[in-house]
Structure 1
Amino acid sequence: MSSWNTILYSVPLLIILLVRGCWLVCVEVPSDTEALHGTNMKLTCISCMKREEVNTDTMVEWTYVSNDGKEISIYEYNGEPRELKGPYQGRILWNGSKDLQDVSITIVNVTLNDSGLYRCTIKRYFNYEMHRPSLTDVKEVQLTVHEDEMIYCYRKILKSEEAAQENATDYLAIPSGNKENHSTVPVEE
């Protein structure tokens, strides 16, 4: 009977440990890609760390890539967040987390000129005694800024209607064999 008691008391402890372990999950989510002129836009960049990467120094660089391929550094994190001089100065806020898995930024008061490709580069330097290997992760966000709220809303509604239509056709499909061989049932009043 004593072994059953041990098992019964061990199961709740095991469940508690499993649930606590689940709280430490990092989920990489894509950034929104459309913004309305004059609003604030968060550019999401999440790079989950593995257990062996916890003891690292992290450096982050955000760049804007122009249509001709020229890269403009707009923000960096190297021990602390730092806004860089240039066209985005005074318009970027750091949204990163303390553990530096989320290294997102927000562009304040987006303009049509802010449309384009943004690149988030995360470099992690491991703190080992003998050597210092590194790991680089790059995320990209293609941002489109819309001038008119009506056009922006119309496009969002159109996308959701197209998705709903695709889902509805899955349920409304009638096999072609049933279309020809159905019989008419009289309706009594």
Structure 2
Amino acid sequence: MPATRALVPLVLLMALQVLVCSGACVEVDSGTEAVANLGFKLGCISCKMRGEVKATASVTWFFQASDDDVSSELYTYAEREGKVMDPRFYGRLHWNGSKNTEDLQDGSIYILNVTFNDTGTYQCNFRRMLIYSNSKYETNPNKTITLKVVPRVTRGMASIMSEVMMYVSIIGLQLWLLVEMIYCYRKISAAGEEALRESALGKNWRRDGFSLAPSSSSSSPPSS
């Protein structure tokens, strides 16, 4: 148990170092279910593998409605400026990604006042230029999101599983605390029993020592 407790800070420190080394960038999948008449964030994160390499990036979004055969350009963001390209989203679409930098890693956008016509497939395309000391290298990561618009909030399987895992974690933690308490109780109990035994032995030694002194003097030969 002491070894386990000693490992916890080490694991937390290693996790913190990983986040720092990666620039705290984590590629989280976007949600896929929006509620009509509410806002919704279309998440698109593309982490740069080597944070020390300078880079510039632009993001282009495409949208294909559920009743369309082809996709159309929806939104572009480059050189810290964004532009809505699809008239269906005029006044309803805003940049929600990386700000105050041209080295984009978060290309998310936010839709205001979602409608059922927003159901369809969205594609987020990055165009990243990695700038090395003697060369440049272009990468084009992309993400595809299939969005469904519902009339009200529904609990998806992911939400249910998250809640189940939360309860499992709580039960597991309680069991671990119970085992720890039993271990500590047994350790304290054993230490108490050992102290009682030592105390009893000490009393017996003192009692036997005092009783032997008179008997040894009485057994000595009488003086002539």
> TM-score, structure 2 length as denominator?
0.56
Equivalent in 4, 19, 22 of residue 22 of structure 1: 19
What is the aligned counterpart of 1:135 among 117, 139, 153?
Answer: 139
Asked if 1:146 corresponds to 2:150, the answer is yes
Judged with a 3 Å threshold, the aligned counterparts in structure 2 of structure 1 residues 89 and 17 are, in CA distance, closer, same or farther, namely same
Question: Superposition pairs for residues 8-47 of structure 1, below 5 Å?
Answer: 19=16, 22-23=19-20, 24-47=23-46
Tell me if structure 1 keeps the 8 A contact 2:58–2:104.
no
User: Which of 118, 121, 131 is matched with 2:122 structurally?
Assistant: 118
Kindly indicate whether the alpha-carbon contact (under 8 Å) linking 2:76 and 2:82 is maintained by their aligned counterparts in 1.
yes
C-alpha contact (below 8 Å) 1:53/1:126 kept by paired residues:
no
Give the Cα separation in 1 of the matches to 2:18 and 2:149. 40
Alpha-carbon separation, structure 1, partners of 2:89 and 2:49: 33
Distance 1:18 1:28, change over 3 A: closer
Q: How does 1:76-91 map to 2 (within 5 A)?
A: 76-85=76-85, 86-91=87-92
TM-score (norm 1): 0.66
Unaligned 5+ residue runs, structure 2?
Answer: 1-11, 169-224
Residue by residue, what CA displacement relative to the aligned partner does 1:94-127 show, whole Å, maximum 9, x if unpaired?
1112352111000000000001110000010122
1:69 Cα deviation from its structure 2 partner: 3.5
Query: 4+ runs of 1 displaced by more than 6 Å?
Result: 15-18
Q: CA 1:142/1:72 → structure 2, altered by over 3 Å: closer, same or farther?
A: same
- Aligned partner of 1:101: which letter? Q
Equivalenced residue count is 147
Secondary structure at 2:47's aligned position in 1?
Answer: coil
Structure with the larger RCO, 1 or 2 (CA within 8 Å, 6+ apart): 1
Task: Identify the residue that residue 175 of structure 1 maps to in structure 2.
Answer: none
Contact 2:37–2:115 (Cα < 8 Å) also in 1: yes
Please state how far the C-alpha of 1:160 moved relative to its aligned partner. 2.4
Residues 53 and 63 (structure 1), Cα distance of their counterparts in 2 relative to 1, 3 Å cut: farther
Q: C-alpha distance in 2, partners of 1:56/1:158?
A: 35
2:197 corresponding residue in structure 1: none
- 1:37–1:145 CA contact under 8 A, matched in 2: yes
Matched to 1:46, the amino acid is: I
What secondary structure sits across from 1:125 in the alignment?
A: strand
Query: Higher Cα Rg: structure 1 or 2?
Result: 2
What RMSD over aligned residues (CA atoms) do the two structures have, in Å?
Answer: 3.2
Which structure is higher in helix share? 2
| 8 A Cα contact 1:60 1:76, kept in partner | yes
Deviation at 1:142, TM superposition (A): 0.7
Q: Percent identity?
A: 34
Where do 1:145-184 residues align within 5 Å?
Answer: 145-147=149-151, 149=152, 152-153=153-154, 156=156, 160=160
1:106 aligned partner? 110
For the 8 Å contact 1:83–1:89, the answer to whether it is kept is no
| Structure 1, unpaired ranges of 5+ | 1-14, 169-189
Say which SS state the counterpart of residue 160 (structure 1) adopts.
helix
Q: Post-superposition shift, 1:38?
A: 0.2
The residue number in structure 2 matching 1:51 is: 50
* Distance of 1:121 and 1:128 partners within structure 2: 22
Residue-by-residue CA offset, 1:133-181 (whole Å, 9 max, x unaligned): 200001011110012x2xx43x5489728x95xx99xxxxxxxxxxxxx
